[in-house]
Amino acid sequence: MLNIAFRLLLTFNATSLLLIVFLVQKSFALGYFFPSYSGLTRLPNIASYLIYLSVPIIFTGLSLRLSSYLGKDEFKKEDIESIGHANNSFLPSYLGYFFVALSVGNWETLWFVYVVLFVFTFLSQALYFSKQKYRKPGEVNIPMAKRINNYTFLERD
């Protein structure tokens, strides 16, 4: 159950760019959503946009904190057959989110597109960036990793 909640949170973090770009493109500042709060209506748009950007950053921090409760696994040198690079696969996805968000014209379309992307992202065998520089399978020795799904693990100290 925790793995599903964790994956939902990671999926939101990954797809929230679509929502943020739509809100910025349409100039929807916080005052648009909360017109009765005069402080928010007087807030410069850029402040609202920075707040929007802070939401996935905060949720990413929350994800890292929650990762300590995920299941544990271990990887030994002899268990690793090959290492693949995932870093180049991120750019097309995020550019896709960006251009889709720019082409969305209204709220109804936004929610439909977002739900479809969210479901596809959640159900995909997602790849996550690793800052570790493993070049050969023999270099990999991870005494403890947290399992996100059967294909993705988070190395924790």
* CA terminus-to-terminus distance, the chain: 23
Element (H, E) at 143: strand 142-149
* Number of residues that make up the chain: 157
Spatial separation of the C-alpha atoms in residues 50 and 36, rounded to whole Å = 21
Spatial separation of the C-alpha atoms in residues 142 and 19, rounded to whole Å = 36
Quick: pLDDT tens for 44-75.
999 999 999 999 999 988 988 887 787 777 76
Q: What is the pTM of this model?
A: 0.72
Under-70 pLDDT residues of the chain: 75-91, 125-157
